[in-house]
Chain A
């Protein structure tokens, strides 16, 4: 097992190395000249040339990549063109709000998805099952930006239940977290349903029933626990799917996190910020995949690695 985890660790490092190479190549192939962007449109050719030399942009491709990788390992993601601040500082100041948003979304998708999935499984083939599975399918296909606008219109404008946007307490968090979590809620409902049906068909459930355990007792004491275990290990993977949605959701709700940072950077074409968030999210995703592999055998002893 240690061998397996070791090789997974090595694999993750390789993926990150390749990912850094891809992002670097992208920026290298960029049609716009970074030195010109830093210097501004009115700077003289000499200034641009000296800035280019200072930034090391006149060196060959692999030399530049080596230098980039060296800085990356130390957590240096470059400087913003427009704000002249290190990208890592900007990222660090935005992680908190985004983390809050993601935790809120995870809480909501579990609170909505799991009970609905249990209900669907227990009423298999009857109308609640059909309705829940239909909703789960719709939720997964709904465009997030439209969902966001609809929720703002209905729950904020029409019924004044929540603030229109901005950063603040739980009432500010609810709508953006719901937008981010609805698709996942559908996914968890489907997962919960299929897991529970699978567990309920096992022999030990029949044994428990045969020994006189009530249906409710079997469900709570045996079935639910075993059905939720595999689901619990997948929560970490949500962070990856959330990374993209965060840009849309934060831009609609004015939530000051990483997504909003990207959106603001898009509008002024501040490439280092955009690329910084890209490489950061690749790092987070690889890390959460790895973490899921480590945690899985701890939570669920049935999982064994070859």
Chain B
């Protein structure tokens, strides 16, 4: 894959990728972008091994998820500043800011796999099959993670 083609693909995928990582990082935008950059460099280095057996975005999200997991192992994400959530663009009403804070606080309490499954399914509109490929787990497990994630979120989000 040439550098130009890779950049073109990245241009298309950068927003969903950053949003996915932003959800995983519980609203810490700086950390999410850092992991996204790391993932893109890794993807670029490995782009020669991309055979096109899956969609480029699926492959890229999988690398990003692995980068996120590596980052979690290196440093605990509990110090993710929640005030980042306040700075979210277009969140101009205090109600909306409160809902984002609530969402990120709830997401932060979820186990990584549940969080990733929830983010991919509800924020990125990915199919169970795609999530299964990204998270490298059977489709049944993805459904289970989604179900558990919803239950856990319900305990932490007041509606």
Judge: A and B partners, yes or no.
Answer: no
**Residues of chain A at the chain B interface (Cβ within 8 Å):** none
**Residues of chain B at the chain A interface (Cβ within 8 Å):** none
